[in-house]
Each structure stands twice: as structure tokens, then as C-alpha cells.
């Protein structure tokens, strides 16, 4: 880690102090619920294990491998899927062996595989998360470590346990874990999260006028517009779900360096497997069929009237027509790094070493986005110390701050954090040329049941 300015060093120094206070505060855990959930999950794992062992596929598996049969062996699983269900390499790609990673297994409509994947997910929940949290509890509080010296992108990390990796995308798993995180008596958990921070910070580097207009004008919606292009729909037919998939499977992957050959299959899966429908109720797959697109197509030299070919054109349009300044910045930034072997960030740090092109483009954005959060956290902690408030900062994820707030301080706390993040921060770093937005969620019960607060 190399701080090229005094301000950069000071940010890490003050950040370490603020983090130490946050670690000391700790977040409250409903220990009884945690222990109950741990036992229930263990029982469910055993139940699924019994069901799997009674399945015909496992019986054949045991007969084939005898004492060496191992349900956790993906090699053995691939072999048994070939023998019992006829999944040979010719069923997928003639040049590759059967893939048995989780993504491939999720595509198989086999009861044994579905139960197996569910069991594996529960095992991780049980061992990594529930038991991992339980062993770190002290007097009903969890005190995760937050680090500023381990990640090469100058972001933070967390361990004992990893607070920044508590699941939320899987609703069932997320609920089981996050329900165990609760406020202290008479208090409220308040999470304040920056919105689209990395997109906004990236625009401070490349200054593409089209992107700046998207950010500054609330009536414009980049994700909606790209959903229209990806799925060949008029604006009025774009639903919240369709926009979601375009945002997370095309827009963000494009910005992080992906390409049509990886994005098109994910988008096609969304079309064919999630039963997405337009505003007027037409299945998205039927709509694309009317447009002449009935299959995904190949990555290499995709043919016209395939979805792969269409997404390749959408990707080309994204960079060459919609965001040409952004595209030029990406290549110029990469060329400069190749010549020098390092790049500086807007917050005064230098990253040097051997990196791939995507890393060179993404790291300075991820670094600075986190530093916006870190600076804000430092300022909020200073205010709490000076004003003798009872509010406690108890956790941090890359774009959000979690606090344990007394009821009578909640309104003032939210108001102050909004001022720090959206007013003070841009004034402190003049290179922030776009408005910053934050979302506030609170809960009086547990971390899972948090609700948005109008600000």
C-alpha cells in the first residue's frame, strides 16, 4: 500500500481508529435464536442426507465405488450422471467433459441433484455462518474485525467472522442468519447505503457526458434503456424484473469488463428459465420469438438472428455510440498503465504491480468508492464522539454503515449522516462532480426485517 499524499495516509490512519471503535462496540446477537436455528439446520441436513442415501442414483453410486463412494466428489458425481442419466460430454460440448460446478448442476432437473445442492447450501450456512458466528460471540455481542491493510484495491475486509459476507441474495438463507442480528434494548438498527456509488465514482474518472447526464437527471434511467435494447422492447413494456436482469446481467458486467459471450448466456437463461413477462403480460421468450430470435447461438462468430449476435451488437452500441468517452478512457487508462506499471487513484493512492486489463480499470473505482464510505464513517464517528451521543457504529460493508441507534437519537442521526454523505463529502473532495445518493433502512426487530425510510 502506497499513500502518495498526506491526506491519503491520514484517511487510513483515522479509518483504523474509527474501525477500532466500531469493533469495540460490537453488534448484538439473539443467541437463543442463533442456537435454535443452528440445531434446526443440522436436523434438516441429516434429513436430506437420509433422503439422498435412499435415492437410486446413490445406490448405484455405492455399487460402483463401494467403500470409496464419496457424495462430495464431483468427479464421482460426473461419472454417475454419465452412467445413470446419460449425460455424456456429447450432450453438452463435444470438446469438454461434463461440468459439475454449481451452475451446471442447477440446470439439471434431477431430484437427487436438487436435494444435494440444497444440502450443500445448508452445510455452508451451518458451518461457515451459524457456527462461525456463535464461536465469536462474547456476552451476547459479536465483535468482527475490520481491516484496512489486506486488500490490494485499498478496500476494507472483515474476519472473525467476515461481517461483509453475511448472505442476503438467497432470501431463505439470508433470513435465517440476519434475523439473529438485533438492536440493543430500546434501540434501532439503522443501515445507510450509498446508491450506485461505483458508477458515480467511475464517472468522476472518465467524465463521459452521457453518463453524467444519466446520473444528474432523475428522469433518465440507464438500466431501463439498456433493458429496452437487450430485449428489444418499448419503454412501456419494461417491468421492474426485466430492468433488474438488464442491470445485473448486462450493464454492470459490461462496466466491469465482461463481454457478450459471457453476458448473453446469463440473459438467455433469464428469458427461458425465469418466465419473465412484459408489462402487457407477454412472455419475454415469446416476444423475442416474434422478433426472430429463438435460440442463444454460439460465442464464436455468432450468426444473425441469434441472441448471442444481438447482444454482441448491443454491447458494441453501448461503447461506440452510447458511451464513447467512457470507452476511450478505458483504453487510455490501460495504455498508460502498460507504459508505467502503476496508476494513481483520485484519493491519493498508487497501485503498482502486474494486473489484467479489467483489474486496472476496476481497481481505482472500487478503491475510491470505498474511500467515500470510509471518509463518511470517520466523520460520523467524530461527530458521535464530540456530541456525546449514545449511538454506536457496529458494522461496515463496502458501501454501507450499520449503527445501533437509541430511539430518541434516530432522526438526528439519519439527518446528520445524510449531510455528511451527500453534502460534506463532495465538498471535501472537489473531484466528485456528480450528486451522491444514499438509502436509509431501519429495523426495531432484526437486521433481516429492515425497512426503507423516506428521506
Q: What is the pLDDT of residues 390-404, one digit of tens each?
A: 999 999 998 999 999
Are the C-beta atoms of residues 303 and 309 closer than 8 Å to each other? yes
> What's the pLDDT at 94?
46
For helices 197-206 and 209-216, angle between their N-to-C axes, nearest 10 degrees: 140
Are the C-beta atoms of residues 377 and 152 closer than 8 Å to each other? no
> Is the four-CA dihedral 158, 164, 170, 172 of positive or negative sign?
positive
> What's the pLDDT at 90?
41
Q: What is the mean pLDDT of the chain?
A: 93
Walk along the chain (455 residues) and give the pLDDT tens digit of each residue. 566 889 999 999 999 999 999 999 999 999 999 999 999 999 999 999 999 999 999 999 999 999 999 998 888 888 888 888 776 544 444 445 555 777 778 777 889 999 999 999 999 999 999 999 999 999 999 999 999 999 888 899 999 999 999 988 889 999 999 999 999 999 999 999 999 999 999 999 999 999 999 999 999 999 999 999 999 999 999 999 999 999 999 999 999 999 999 999 999 999 988 889 999 999 999 999 999 999 999 999 999 999 999 999 999 999 999 999 999 999 999 999 999 999 999 999 999 999 999 999 999 999 999 999 999 999 999 999 999 899 999 999 989 999 999 999 999 999 999 999 999 999 999 999 999 999 999 999 999 999 999 88
Q: Which three cell numbers stand for residue 333?
A: 487508462
Q: Which three cell numbers stand for residue 91?
A: 450432450
Q: Is 333 left (phi over 0), alpha (psi -120 to 50) or beta?
A: alpha
> What's the pLDDT at 263?
97
Structural domains present in the chain: 2-26+143-199+364-453 (3.30.70.370), 33-134 (1.20.1060), 219-322 (no CATH)
> What's the pLDDT at 87?
64
Map grid coordinates 457424495 to a residue. Answer: 71
Q: Which three cell numbers stand for residue 238?
A: 419494461
pTM for this entry: 0.91
Q: Which three cell numbers stand for residue 156?
A: 476494507
Count CB atoms within 10 A of the CB of residue 58: 18
Q: Say how far residue 428 (Cα) sits from the centre of its chain.
A: 28
> What's the pLDDT at 363?
96
Map grid coordinates 426472430 to a residue. Answer: 292
Strand pairing report for 392-397 and 349-352: unpaired
Strand pairing report for 342-344 and 349-352: antiparallel
Determine the Cα–Cα distance for residues 28 and 386; give it in Å rounded to an integer. 24
pLDDT digits (tens, 9 = 90+) for 74-123: 888 888 888 887 765 444 444 455 557 777 787 778 899 999 999 999 99
Q: What SS3 class is residue 201?
A: helix
**Looking at residue 172, what DSSP letter applies?**
H
Strand pairing report for 145-147 and 181-182: unpaired
For 163-211, give the DSSP string. GGG---SSHHHHHHHHTTEEPPTTEEEEEEEESSHHHHHHHHHH--HHH
Q: Which three cell numbers stand for residue 283?
A: 412472455
> What's the pLDDT at 75?
84
H helices present in 207-320, as ranges? 209-216, 222-231, 240-246, 252-255, 260-273, 284-290, 307-317
> What's the pLDDT at 1?
52
> What's the pLDDT at 99?
54
Amino acid at each position: 500500500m502506497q499513500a502518495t499524499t498526506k491526506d491519503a495516509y491520514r484517511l487510513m490512519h483515522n479509518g483504523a481508529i474509527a474501525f477500532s471503535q466500531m469493533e469495540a462496540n460490537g453488534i448484538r446477537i439473539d443467541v437463543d435464536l442463533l442456537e435454535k436455528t443452528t440445531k434446526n439446520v443440522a436436523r434438516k441436513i441429516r434429513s436430506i442426507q437420509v433422503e439422498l442415501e435412499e435415492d437410486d442414483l446413490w445406490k448405484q453410486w455405492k455399487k460402483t465405488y463401494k467403500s470409496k463412494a464419496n457424495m462430495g466428489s464431483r468427479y464421482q458425481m460426473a461419472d454417475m450422471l454419465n452412467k445413470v442419466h446419460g449425460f455424456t460430454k456429447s450432450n453438452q460440448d463435444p470438446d469438454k467433459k461434463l461440468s459439475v460446478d454449481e451452475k451446471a448442476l442447477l440446470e439439471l432437473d434431477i431430484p437427487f441433484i436438487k436435494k444435494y445442492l440444497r444440502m450443500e447450501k445448508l452445510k455452508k450456512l451451518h458451518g461457515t455462518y451459524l457456527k462461525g458466528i456463535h464461536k465469536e460471540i462474547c456476552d451476547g455481542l459479536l465483535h468482527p474485525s475490520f481491516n484496512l491493510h489486506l486488500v490490494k484495491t485499498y478496500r476494507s475486509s472483515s474476519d472473525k467472522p467476515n461481517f461483509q459476507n453475511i448472505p442476503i441474495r438467497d432470501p431463505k438463507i439470508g433470513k435465517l442468519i440476519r434475523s439473529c442480528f438485533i438492536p440493543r434494548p430500546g434501540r434501532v438498527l439503522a443501515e445507510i447505503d450509498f446508491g450506485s456509488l461505483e458508477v458515480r465514482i467511475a464517472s468522476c474518472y472518465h467524465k463521459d457526458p452521457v453518463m453524467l447526464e444519466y446520473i444528474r437527471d432523475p428522469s433518465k434511467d440507464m438500466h431501463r434503456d439498456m433493458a429496452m435494447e437487450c430485449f428489444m422492447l418499448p419503454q412501456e413494456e419494461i417491468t421492474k424484473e426485466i430492468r433488474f436482469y438488464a442491470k445485473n446481467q448486462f450493464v454492470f458486467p459490461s462496466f466491469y469488463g465482461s463481454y457478450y459471450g459471457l453476458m448473453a448466456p446469463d440473459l438467455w437463461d433469464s428469458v427461458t428459465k425465469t418466465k419473465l413477462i412484459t408489462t402487457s403480460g407477454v412472455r419475454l421468450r415469446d416476444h423475442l420469438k416474434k422478433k426472430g430470435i429463438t435460440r442463444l447461438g454460439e460465442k464464436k462468430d455468432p450468426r444473425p438472428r441469434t441472441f448471442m449476435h444481438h447482444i454482441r451488437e448491443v454491447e458494441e452500441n453501448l461503447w461506440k455510440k452510447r458511451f464513447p468517452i467512457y470507452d476511450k478512457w478505458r483504453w487510455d487508462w490501460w495504455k498508460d498503465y502498460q507504459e508505467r506499471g502503476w496508476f494513481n487513484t483520485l484519493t491519493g493512492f498508487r497501485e503498482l504491480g502486474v494486473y489484467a486489463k479489467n483489474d486496472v480499470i476496476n481497481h481505482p473505482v472500487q478503491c475510491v468508492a470505498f474511500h467515500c464510505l470510509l471518509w463518511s464513517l470517520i466523520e460520523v464517528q467524530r461527530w458521535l464522539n464530540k456530541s456525546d451521543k449514545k449511538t454506536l457504529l457496529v458494522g461496515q460493508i463496502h458501501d454501507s454503515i450499520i449503527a445501533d441507534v437509541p430511539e430518541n437519537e434516530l432522526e438526528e442521526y439519519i439527518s446528520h449522516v445524510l449531510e455528511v454523505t451527500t453534502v460534506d463529502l463532495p465538498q471535501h473532495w472537489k473531484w466528485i462532480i456528480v450528486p451522491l445518493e444514499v438509502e436509509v433502512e431501519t429495523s426495531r426487530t432484526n437486521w433481516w426485517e429492515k425497512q426503507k425510510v423516506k428521506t
